[in-house]
Each structure stands twice: as C-alpha cells, then as structure tokens.
C-alpha cells in the first residue's frame, strides 16, 4: 500500500511557465510534508516543507499548497527555469521534531525547455 | 564535515557476496537514516537510528540486511548474500531532531550505487 502517491511521473514545461506536481497521502497522522529536489548523481536536498496548520507556504518561486481535508498537497514552481530541471519528490512523516522516517512519493522528473 | 559523506560511491559485486556501505553523518546530528532508491522508484526507508535508542528496523526488506551505528556517529549498512534485486542507490541521511533547532530536515549524502552482477 503506497502511502504517498505522486503525479505526474514526468513533466515538460517551457521556460517561464508554471510547473505543478501533486501528491496525495493516506495517513492522517502525518504532520510534516517536505519536497526534495534531486539532480543526477546527487542526493536529494530539501526544497521547501509545510506543516498542516497552514494551507500555503511560499519561498521564492516555490510554493506548497496544502489541502488537509482532501489529504493532498502540491508544489508549484513559478517562472520555471532550465536549472529547475531535476527530479522532485514529495514526502510525509509523523512526529515532527522527534525525527522519523520520511515516506516518499515515487518522484516527478521535470524538464524545463529553454 | 560539510555534509553527509558516503563510501564507496560505486560498488560492483557478484551475486552471493557480502557488501558493506559506509555513512558519515553531519557532525552533531543524532539521527541517521538509510534509504534505498531503485530505478524509477521513490526512496524506500530502510532503517533509522536516533541517539542511543534501539534502531527502527521496520523498513529492512529481509534478514540479509543489517546496519549498525558505532559511537553515535558512523554507520555501516551490510547486505549479506547479495541478490540482483539489491541493485540500487543506497542513500544515507542525518538530522538533528533532538538539537536546539528541532528541525526535521534530513540532509542526504550522495549515495552509494550498488550493482549486483
């Protein structure tokens, strides 16, 4: 049973466009929802994260939208750039601050064409 | 150190051999995680260490997999009698959930790419 479902699997966006990646989760005990960015040959790096007490969090061109009732959250990349081309993973965990394992989605490969 | 380091970066082994993968976490981080990333798949949790507590081994796929963490720092993931389906990138991460910052940010190493022939 996959606890975090991510879509689409791949995404092609023109430079300057908006990239949108969606995730849905099942466990209502999850209380921490990070997005990780991974470039080829590198480990994932935290991009932005949200907790369920807010519905949106913005950092620069990156925004997380969170819908607690629907158990869904999404990543929006505004003004997408070729340098954003990477694989993006959503994740979820429970017990924020206690240190727990992340449950990851299967990833979305984003290609931004110049 | 500046970040999480892992060694070797690449490992090719024959089916049936044992392998050891090493992780050096960020200094002072009390939590250490191992994940496995297979082609086309997300990251799969394997095992988690937090301070001196008993590790959470719930993600280990079989008893051929084991891990230890010595002195609360370096960790070694051991795979015995490797199988072809063990081929993947093994990622280590560390965080400081018990630190003053109380952040759950997990910092990942570059991974070890394991190929079982």
Q: How would you write the pLDDT of chain A (114 residues) with one tens digit per residue?
A: 568 999 999 999 999 999 999 999 999 989 899 999 999 999 999 999 998 889 999 999 999 999 999 999 999 999 999 999 999 999 999 876 666 889 999 999 999 998
A4 neighbors A21 (Cβ within 8 angstroms): no
Convert the pLDDT of each residue in B26-47 to its tens digit: 998 889 999 999 987 789 999 9
- Helix, strand, or coil (residue A84): helix
Asked if the C-beta of A1 comes within 8 angstroms of chain B's C-beta atoms, the answer is no
Asked if the C-beta of B20 comes within 8 angstroms of chain A's C-beta atoms, the answer is no
Residue in chain B lying closest to A98 (CA): B97
How far apart are alpha carbons B68 and B96 in whole angstroms?
A: 18
Q: Do B31 and A45 touch (CB under 8 A)?
A: no
Which residues in chain A have Cβ-Cβ distances shorter than 8 Å to B72? none
Which residues in chain A have Cβ-Cβ distances shorter than 8 Å to B107? 45-46
Nearest one of B107, B71, B79 to B91, comparing CA atoms? B107
Asked if the C-beta of A99 comes within 8 angstroms of chain B's C-beta atoms, the answer is yes
Collect the ranges in chain B with pLDDT lower than 70.
Answer: 1, 97-103
Give me the DSSP letters along B18-79: -EEEEEEPPTT--EEEEEEE-TTS-EEEEEEEETTSPPB-TT--STTEEEEESTTS-EEEEE
Q: Which residue in B24, B26, B67, B106 has the most chain A C-beta atoms within 10 A of its own C-beta, making it the best mutation to test that interface?
A: B106
CA distance A83 to chain B (A): 19
User: A17: Cβ–Cβ under 8 A, 6 or more apart, which residues?
Assistant: A80, A112
Asked if the C-beta of B55 comes within 8 angstroms of chain A's C-beta atoms, the answer is no
Give me the DSSP letters along A48-83: EEE-TT-SEEEETTEEEEEETTTTEEEEEESS--GG
The residues that bridge with B19 in the sheet, in sequence order, are B79
Asked if the C-beta of A98 comes within 8 angstroms of chain B's C-beta atoms, the answer is yes
Asked if the C-beta of A48 comes within 8 angstroms of chain B's C-beta atoms, the answer is no
List the structure tokens of A38.
């991974």
The residues that bridge with B11 in the sheet, in sequence order, are B114
Q: Do B43 and A43 touch (CB under 8 A)?
A: no
The pLDDT of residue B100 is 54
How far apart are alpha carbons A40 and A87 in whole angstroms?
A: 8
Nearest one of A39, A38, A65, A36 to A50, comparing CA atoms? A65
CA B14 from chain center: how many Å?
A: 20
CA distance B68 to chain A (A): 17
């Amino acid at each position: 049973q996959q606890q975090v479902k991510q879509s689409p699997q791949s995404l092609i966006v023109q430079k300057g466009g908006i990239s949108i990646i969606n995730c849905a989760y099942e466990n209502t005990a999850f209380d921490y929802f990070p997005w990780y960015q991974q470039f080829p040959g590198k480990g994932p790096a935290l991009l932005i994260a949200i907790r369920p007490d807010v519905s949106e969090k913005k950092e620069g061109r990156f925004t997380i939208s969170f819908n607690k009732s629907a158990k869904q959250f999404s990543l929006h990349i505004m003004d997408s750039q070729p340098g954003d081309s990477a694989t993006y993973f959503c994740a979820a965990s429970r017990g924020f601050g206690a240190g727990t394992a992340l449950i990851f989605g299967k990833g979305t490969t984003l290609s931004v064409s110049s | 150190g500046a970040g999480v380091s892992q060694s070797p970066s690449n490992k090719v082994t024959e089916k049936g051999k044992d392998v050891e993968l090493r992780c050096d976490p960020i200094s002072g981080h009390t939590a250490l995680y191992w994940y496995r990333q297979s082609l086309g798949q997300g990251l799969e949790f394997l095992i988690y260490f937090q301070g001196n507590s008993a590790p959470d081994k719930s993600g280990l796929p079989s008893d051929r997999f084991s891990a230890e963490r010595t002195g609360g720092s370096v960790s070694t993931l051991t795979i015995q009698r490797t199988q072809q389906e063990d081929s993947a990138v093994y990622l280590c991460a560390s965080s400081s959930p018990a630190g003053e910052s109380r952040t759950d940010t997990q910092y990942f190493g570059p991974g070890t790419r394991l190929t079982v022939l």
